[in-house]
Structure 1
Amino acid sequence: MALSGKLIGYIKISKKGDVFHDLFRHNPNEIAVISPDKIHACELVDGDRGTVGSLVHWHYSHEGKKKIDKAVIEAVNEENHMIVFNVVGGDLVDDKFKTMKVILHTEKKGDAQVITLTLEFEKLDTSVPYPTSFMDWFCHMLKDIDAHGKTE
């Protein structure tokens, strides 16, 4: 079993990519309003909100437990609506993973707008399962965001 890996999820969305990008980059606390069962808060700890090098603490619930993770914005690409979070501490990396990056970007695929979620990780040891439940959780949160504000 490999210690490092990558999981990629694709979610077809109805909103434009800049909506997701702006939310995660500049207004992540709004996600707590949109998906309160998953995200409780996102605190800026160091730097300027949305800039490369800024440190944020994500407060969330996953697998029935409240958790906190520290993440640094490692890269931003406005053209591709991409943001890369490097998880540098907290429940996710302290317990299971040596490294974890969360990469979000949006693109047009045919007539559809798609958000791509990539998890790049290195497990602490072979007994640690792949982060598929975290991927599922994150994909559901992205679907919550896409559904927010729709009147059907």
Structure 2
Amino acid sequence: MNLFGKLEVDEEANAPADHFHEVFSCRPHMYLIRPEKIQGCDLHEGEWGREGTVICWNYSHDGSPKVAKQLIEAIDDVNFSTTFKVIEGDLLNDYKSFKATVQATPKGEGSLVHWTFEY
């Protein structure tokens, strides 16, 4: 059975929007701030910070190790937005496709981060 839908979530971040965007678009391997959830992020093809780059995440979900290989589809440095498309991995066992977009908007000293998941 394949599930489908769209989920949107907003959360506040202590980092300025441009810094938050830089981490997700150019240095996602630096996002390992929650080692109980994310164990690694490796470059498979391309260059960090470039559209068309393929990265592989090792993470845990419900205590089980998982893998997701993602293609960076789009980077918008003006609107601080990055879109990833899952091309291989455990998510595709439950979803026919899975795409995530993260956009940071300046808010005071930090930012408001808008996550969109399409599956």
Name the TM-score, length of structure 1 as normaliser: 0.71
Q: Which residue of 2 aligns with 1:90?
A: 89
User: How big is the shift at 1:108?
Assistant: 3.8
- If asked which structure has higher relative contact order (CA below 8 Å, sep 6+), I would say 2
Greater C-alpha radius of gyration: 1
Unpaired stretches in structure 1, ≥5 consecutive residues: 122-152
Structure 2: unaligned runs, 5 residues or longer: none
**Aligned residue number for residue 20 of structure 1:** 20
* CA deviation string 1:109-136 (max 9, x = no partner): 6897310000011xxxxxxxxxxxxxxx
Q: Which residue of 2 aligns with 1:59?
A: 58
**What residue number does 1:140 align with?**
none
Q: What is the CA–CA distance in structure 1 between the aligned matches of 2:17 and 2:45, rounded to whole Å?
A: 26
User: In structure 2, what is the Cα distance between the partners aligned to 1:109 and 1:40?
Assistant: 30
Seen in structure 2, the aligned counterparts of structure 1 residues 73 and 12 have a Cα distance that, compared at 3 Å, is: same
Structure 2: which amino acid aligns with 1:116?
Answer: H
CA-to-partner distance for each residue in 1:56-98, whole Å, 9 max, x for gaps?
Answer: 00111111111110100000000111000000110111x1001
Who is 2:115 aligned against? 117
Length-normalised TM-score, structure 2: 0.90
Whether the aligned pair in 1 keeps the contact of 2:15 and 2:109 (CA below 8 Å) is no
Q: What's the C-alpha RMSD, in Å, of the aligned pairs?
A: 2.0
- Return closer, same or farther for 1:3/1:35 CA change in 2, 3 Å cut-off: closer
The residue aligned with 1:143 is: none
Instruction: Give the total of aligned pairs.
Output: 118
Please give the secondary structure, in 2, of the residue aligned with 1:99. coil
Moved over 4 A (4+): 109-112
More strand by share: 2
For the 8 Å contact 2:4–2:95, the answer to whether it is kept is: no
**How many angstroms does 1:4 deviate by?**
3.0
